[in-house]
Amino acid sequence: MESIRKPRGTMDVLAPDVYTWQYIESTARRVASKFGFDEIRTPTFEELALFSRGVGECTDVVQKEMYTFEDKEGKLFALRPEGTASVARALIENGKCSDTLPIKLSYIINCFRYEKPQAGRSREFEQFGVEMFGSSDAGADFTVISLAASLLTELGIGNISLHVNSIGCPDCRPSYRAALVEYFEKNADGLCDTCKTRLKTNPLRVLDCKCESCKKLAENAPKTIDHLCEGCKNHMDKLTAMLDACGLNYVIDTHIVRGLDYYTKTVFEFIAEGIGAQSTVCGGGRYDGLVKELGGPALPACGFAMGITRLILAMEQNGVKVPGKNAPALYIASMGQTAQIKAQEIVWNLRKEGIYAECDVVGRSLKAQMKYADKTGAMKVLIIGDSELESGRAMLRDMTGAMGENTQTEIEIAKVAEYLR
Ligand code: ATP
Ligand code: MG
């Protein structure tokens, strides 16, 4: 029979790779708690309208990349393409918007986007994200950016740079929008068909187009940063002053606009060198309008998301080695059924004490058991058979070579735990 394969653009993660995933996840959780962020868990699928309203009708994510389905009652849902809209919805739905501010939340989630699979881009992918609600001060932007920087450092990712931009607010956006439309209308011949439509619906999205001719035109387009109002300008200056004060390097990159519609003021990306075309490891910014857009109060917010697979590529590029599988502290080699039962009993008691121990469960010969113990990297091996059980004493062999010539000692079986510490 023909075997079934996983869907295109998804992945199976097995050992030893899974240790890298676990390492990133546990490091992310540790860093998030160091910055005072609580974890939040939300559903894998949501009403489709959440994303069309939250992420934006005109975005690639909503227009082309969403996995949508109808349930048995004919309701429209989507597998989440990102986390921010869900977190904002959950905050509103659970009446948390009036909690003591700021509200700081983090998550590790799988996301789904119908994209062309390639290195660093898949159809199901994992994101670590944080969201901070209730502060319009640049200190909040700084908090999330410094959290990302701290995590990247802890993961050993060195050659990465922070790109920061401001895309303004509803006060200064109209004048910028007008300048942008004027520029692109003059150069409309160079735009792709999608962008010709975008020019009417959402001209900012043209700046984010992946198509070469549009990218080229975008290079000389008017810059948001030249059209900022006083408030946005001060916000940007305060943020960069904080980055300067803490010695966090950054470049002002006027080309960064981000792919989602809800951003205002600060937008930023961490871009890794040498990991190929999908080099944006982390993307984020401020989204002061989202909570209100979703039916909540006017609650300013900012956050970011990083893709785990791109972190892995960057770690590989930086030659980072992560701790792998633990080796057993003890392997018990046994001969005969009575010894096998005793071995299980000892292993059970050791595991209860928090010690990682193994014994034979396959019925291997003594020689094969020793070979297997070696393969697992077991630190010590205890060898038991009928005569050992009778005398209560057995040989404990050191497998690490740490004891030099003296690699074997006779011990009291009942006291084996003491020899493992
Ligand atoms: P890109 O420009 O690469 O498509 P994006 O702007 O769509 O990114 P965001 O929606 O901001 O990305 O998501 C934040 C992060 O999630 C990205 O920086 C990236 O690390 C990761 N990411 C996004 N889409 C994918 C994907 N299809 N596969 C793997 N990781 C992804
Ligand atoms: Mg994308």
Residue bearing the CA closest to ligand 1, atom 18: 282
User: What is the pTM (predicted TM-score) of this model?
Assistant: 0.93
The closest-lying atom of ligand 1 relative to the alpha carbon of residue 122 is 28
What's the pLDDT score for residue 200?
A: 87
* Ligand 2: centre distance to CA 81 (Å): 10
Mean pLDDT along residues 199-211: 85
Would you say the CB of residue 283 lies under 6 angstroms from ligand 1? yes
Q: Would the pLDDT of 406 be above 60? A: no
pLDDT digits (tens, 9 = 90+) for 92-127: 999 999 999 999 999 999 999 999 999 999 999 999
Least confident of 60-69, 238-247, 279-288, 395-404: 395-404
What is the Cα–Cα distance from 318 to 275, expressed in whole angstroms? 10
The closest-lying atom of ligand 1 relative to the alpha carbon of residue 282 is 18
| Closest by CA position to 113, among listed 129, 124, 126, 101 | 124
Q: Would the pLDDT of 259 be above 70? A: no
pLDDT digits (tens, 9 = 90+) for 26-58: 999 999 999 999 999 999 999 999 999 998 887
pLDDT category, 239, cuts 50, 70, 90? very high
Would you say the CB of residue 125 lies under 6 angstroms from ligand 1? yes
Would you say the CB of residue 190 lies under 6 angstroms from ligand 1? no
* Ligand 2: centre distance to CA 414 (Å): 60
* Ligand 1: centre distance to CA 399 (Å): 46
What's the pLDDT score for residue 192?
A: 93
What's the pLDDT score for residue 221?
A: 92
What is the Cα–Cα distance from 334 to 45, expressed in whole angstroms? 51
* Ligand 1: centre distance to CA 182 (Å): 30
* Ligand in closest contact with the CA of 120: 1
What's the pLDDT score for residue 260?
A: 64
* Ligand 1: centre distance to CA 153 (Å): 20
The closest-lying atom of ligand 1 relative to the alpha carbon of residue 82 is 10
The closest-lying atom of ligand 1 relative to the alpha carbon of residue 305 is 14
Would you say the CB of residue 115 lies under 6 angstroms from ligand 1? yes
* Ligand 2: centre distance to CA 99 (Å): 33
pLDDT category, 320, cuts 50, 70, 90? very high
Mean pLDDT along residues 192-197: 90
Average pLDDT, the chain: 94
Would you say the CB of residue 265 lies under 6 angstroms from ligand 1? no
Q: CA angle, corner 24, sides to 105 and 326, nearest 5?
A: 130
What is the Cα–Cα distance from 288 to 285, expressed in whole angstroms? 10
What's the pLDDT score for residue 405?
A: 58
Mean pLDDT along residues 262-283: 93
Would you say the CB of residue 309 lies under 6 angstroms from ligand 1? yes
| 387-414 burial code (b ≥16 CB/10 A, e <16) | ebbeeebbebbbbeeeeeeeeeeebebe
* Ligand 1: centre distance to CA 307 (Å): 6
What is the Cα–Cα distance from 140 to 130, expressed in whole angstroms? 12
Would you say the CB of residue 65 lies under 6 angstroms from ligand 1? no
* Ligand in closest contact with the CA of 257: 1
Task: State the distance between the two ends of the chain, measured CA to CA, in whole angstroms.
Answer: 52
* Ligand 2: centre distance to CA 344 (Å): 52
pLDDT category, 402, cuts 50, 70, 90? low
Q: Would the pLDDT of 359 be above 60? A: yes
Pairing state between β 76-79 and 330-334: unpaired
